Every structure is written in structure tokens, then in C-alpha cells.
Structure 1
Amino acid sequence: MSIAAQARARAEAAAQKKAEDEASAASAAMAKRRPAKIKPALRPAPSVPDINPNRVSPAAQRRRFLIASSAGAVLAASGIAIDIDGDNDDTPLSPDAQKVVFQLQQDRRRLKEFKATERKVEAKIDMLPAYRGWCDGVLAAGQGERGPLDQIFTTIMAWTIDVGDYMTALPMLEHAVKYKLEMPSGFNRDPITFAIDQVCEEAIRVYDLGGDAAKAFEAGVLPMLQDLVDEHDIDLHDEVEAKLFKAIGRAIMAGADIENEDDLRQRREETLKSYQRALELHERCGVKKDIEKLTRELKKAAGVTEPADQNTPPPAGG
């Protein structure tokens, strides 16, 4: 290799080494200015205990009451519909409101495990105390603003009716009627229609059975339902209203004192009016024979003789 070629090779090697040194220095300087991000250590999420509807502490009840009754705090985002069968991951509810929603989801899944109506009723009796504080808070607030938890409230109202706790359900029903709350999906009736149907069907059933079941029925709920209908001028289906009048008639006669003629007469008269109104509303409500019987009994008590049947042959001997 000539002296000139050797000199050129040394110059190229020196230039390459200088370039490498400069690149290394630049990289080190860059690292000092922007240090690499360090990922934080991952910590396991705390386990969430399962909700037990049978154990609700007084503190939890009070907390739910305050959440529900404080102004505007029943909902964290008013007007967002809640699907209690859905995930609701994007719904900004308060922690206690979320507990109510998720607990109801869990309880509804439990109810699907039962086939017999009696077992479902027994399960609802165990479940309902967990919601009492929250529902009381809603009633105490008296808020007319509709929101995403309305259907939760009417679901609990329906369960309360299902288990026969009618006096507890009445204030809930009036709240639902006053603020025009809707029943949850799966119900094809509004709150007042559902309540009258359920309560009156049970009343008619137990009064027809008689005995202890009839004595145990809270008869006072029937005129209260009628007052609620009248006070809010509710437009009921004729069949539903007829059922209410029929049940009221059954309740009036169930309390009759057969040894007291005045009491018995008054009850028969009032029952007859209820049955006649029921028949006017719905011809097939099942009170025609009751009306005939009461009419005969009232005439007999008044000393009115029934006209003889013209087709009946005269007694022998004239």
C-alpha cells in the first residue's frame, strides 16, 4: 500500500471513531435529560365482600336514608335511565346508590332460581329489609324529579305488595302515583293498576276462603286504594275498578255481626251498592249471584214477600 493510501485509511478510521464517540455522548446526554419512565408496582385490588341482604347494619341503613333523602343526591346524574339487568358501568351513581342497584341485580338473580311462588315470596321477605332505609329516604325527600332509580323504587314497591305488606306499600304507591314513576321492564301495568290488581285479587281470594286468612287480611287497604284513585283522579280500566268495588264489597260483608240485625242490614246495603257499581263497570266481574242473594236477604229482612212464580202449580186442595 502506498504511503498516500495508508494515510487515507488512517484518516477514515479516525473519522469513524470520532463519529461513534459523538453519537455515544449524544445518547448519554439525551438519557440524562429524559430518563426512562419507571412503571409503578402493581398492587392487588382489595377483595369486595359479597352483599348479604340479611345483614344490614343500622349505620348502613342510615347512610342509605341520607343518600336518598338529600336534595338531588338520590341520583348522581338525573335523567339517565338505569337498566337493572344491565352492567351500568358508565352510570355515575353514588356509592350507596350503586349498592342498591347491584344488590337488586343479585337478588333478582336469586329469585330466578325458584320456581314456586311461595318460595319467591319467602325470599323477598328476607330481601326487603335491606332496601327499607333507602326507600324511606326517597319518601322523606318527597322529590318530584324523575331519575334513573325510579324503577328500582317501584320494583321494591311491587315486592312489598307481593309479600302482603300492604300498609308499607301504600305510601310507596302514592309516591309513585304522585310523581308518575314507571314500573320496571317486564311489567305491563302502571303502579296503581298493578297494586289494585294484586291486592284486590288476594282480597277476593281470602274472603271467598274465609277463616283465618280472611281475618288476617288488612281490609283497611281497600278504601285507601279507592281514596288514592279519587284523590288523584286516576283513569282506571273498567275491569280493574270493578275488581276494586268487588273486593270492597267482600270486605264489608266479612266484618258482619250476624247477631246484630242493624249492622247486618247496613252491611248488606253497602255491599249491594259496591257490587252494583262493579257490575256497571264490568258485566263479567262475577257479582250477579251475589247481587241476587243480597237483594233477597234485604227484602226478607224488611218483610217483603217475594211474588209467587206463576208457573208454580197451586197447592193441592185449592
Structure 2
Amino acid sequence: MNRAAAAMARHAQVVAGNKPASVAAPAPLNQQDRLMLVALESDLYRIKEIQSHARRNEVKKAELLPRYRAYLEDLLVSSQPRTPAIIVRNLIWAIDTADYDWALRLGLFAVAHQLPTPEGFRRDIRNLFVGDMATAALELQKNSQIVIIDWLFNLEGMSKKWDLIDEVRADLYKALAQEYERGKHYGTALPLYRLADKLNSRVRVQRAITRLEKLLEAQNAQPA
């Protein structure tokens, strides 16, 4: 079996093994799809050989994401999720490299089509997408970096009806709450902190809850 055939076989196996019963099979692969899947196999091997995580992300941002961008734009416009492996892998790379607008587009597309996650990933596409985005936001906040609240707010709104792991939704609520607190919207932040704590007591927001309760109590006690 040559390299191209091997890539096709792996792609078919992943799709068949992870595709929900309610989702129709994707359209047949064309020549470009096959070439891109072969390229993905090569790129994944290349990334695996790089030991530095920082260097991996540099390669993803400078070389890999641009390589697939036009191809993926065509899939999104035509609403054809023919190559889940490429779509989901680029979603992961976009989050890794802080391209959150592109990640949001790919993630919503992947969820809408219930795409399978790569082999070795335990979470389904909804929890992988939201979980990784929330984790990225929390990491930015931890390092005192700016989080664009628009994509975070949109993600929370769009995922309201999704069946998410409690820990994933708790992280999303915490990330949102921290952004609202940073913007001094304390009355909005406090309920989100409480929701996060209710879903996952290990999310570490108890101090924030106490802090905002005291702050809001003091503000309400001030004469008008």
C-alpha cells in the first residue's frame, strides 16, 4: 500500500469508527482531498519530530495553517465536511497558535457536522472545541494577556444547548467571569463564578466569589 492509499485508509477508518449514526456519510473524496490528506500525514509526522512545543507552534502558525487555509475556506463555504481529519486538526492548531477567530469558525463547523476527533483524543468534538478554547483563555488570563471577550462570549452563547462535560463548561464560565471582572462588570462576573463553582468545585473560584460578594455589598451600602 502506497502512502496516499494508506492515508485514505486511515481517514476512512477514523470517520467510520467515530461518526454518529445520525450523521450522513461525507461526500466522496476528490483528487485535492486525497492530496491534502497525504500532506496532513506528512505534516503530523514532521510536528511529532519537533521536541520544542514553542517551535511546534511556530511551524503551525507560519507554515501549516496557511497551507490548508484556502482549501478549508472552500469546504466551509460549500458546507462539505469531506475531510474531518484536516478540519479538526487545523482547529486544534488554530487554538494552539492563538488564531481564535479561525478556530471559532472551524469549531462551529465541526460541531455542526458532528465530526470525529482524531485517534487518541478522548473527548468528542464539542468538548474538545469548547474545552481547548476555554483552557486557552484561562492561560492567557493567567499570564495577564488580553482575551478578546467577543469570541469568548459568542462561544458561551452558541454552546448553551450543547451537552458538555461539567468541567469544560465550568472552565468556560470561569474564563468569562474573569474577563467581566477585569472590565469591572462585577455584577455580571459573580453569577458566572458561582455557576462555575457549582459545576466543578475544583475550578478554584471561591476566593473570587468572596471578593466580589464583599465588593458588591460595599458598593450597595454606599449612599446614593
Please report the TM-score for the alignment, with normalisation by the length of structure 1: 0.59
Unpaired runs of 5+ residues, structure 2, are 1-7, 16-27
The aligned residue for residue 216 of structure 2 is 298
2:36 pairs with 1:100: yes
The aligned residue for residue 155 of structure 1 is 89
Q: Percent identity?
A: 28
Q: Which moved more, 1:294-303 or 1:272-281?
A: 294-303
Q: How many residues align?
A: 200
The aligned residue for residue 272 of structure 1 is 190
SS of structure 2 residue aligned to 1:97 = helix
Question: Could you tell me how far apart the structure 2 residues matched to 1:190 and 1:161 are?
Answer: 16
Contact (CA 8 Å) 1:151, 1:184: kept in 2 or not?
yes
* C-alpha deviation, 1:202, in angstroms: 2.3
The aligned residue for residue 18 of structure 2 is none
Unpaired runs of 5+ residues, structure 1, are 1-76, 85-91, 257-266, 305-318
Contact (CA 8 Å) 1:200, 1:247: kept in 2 or not?
yes
The aligned residue for residue 315 of structure 1 is none
The aligned residue for residue 133 of structure 2 is 199
The aligned residue for residue 251 of structure 1 is 179
SS of structure 2 residue aligned to 1:223 = helix
Kindly indicate whether structure 1 or structure 2 has the higher relative contact order, using CA contacts under 8 Å at least 6 residues apart. Answer: 2
For residues 258-278 of structure 1, the C-alpha deviation after alignment (integer angstroms, 9 at most, x for no partner) is xxxxxxxxx111110100111
* C-alpha deviation, 1:236, in angstroms: 0.7
**Of the two, which has the highest radius of gyration?**
1
2:6 pairs with 1:81: no
Question: Could you tell me how far apart the structure 1 residues matched to 2:14 and 2:132 are?
Answer: 24
Contact (CA 8 Å) 1:183, 1:190: kept in 2 or not?
yes
Runs of 4+ in 1 over 3 A off after TM superposition: none
Question: Could you tell me how far apart the structure 2 residues matched to 1:112 and 1:208 are?
Answer: 27
* C-alpha deviation, 1:169, in angstroms: 1.4
The aligned residue for residue 181 of structure 1 is 115
- After superposition, the CA RMSD in angstroms is 2.1
Contact (CA 8 Å) 1:152, 1:184: kept in 2 or not?
no
Equivalence map 1:84-233=2 (5 Å): 93-125=29-61, 126-143=63-80, 147=82, 149-210=83-144, 213=145, 215=146, 217-230=147-160, 233=161
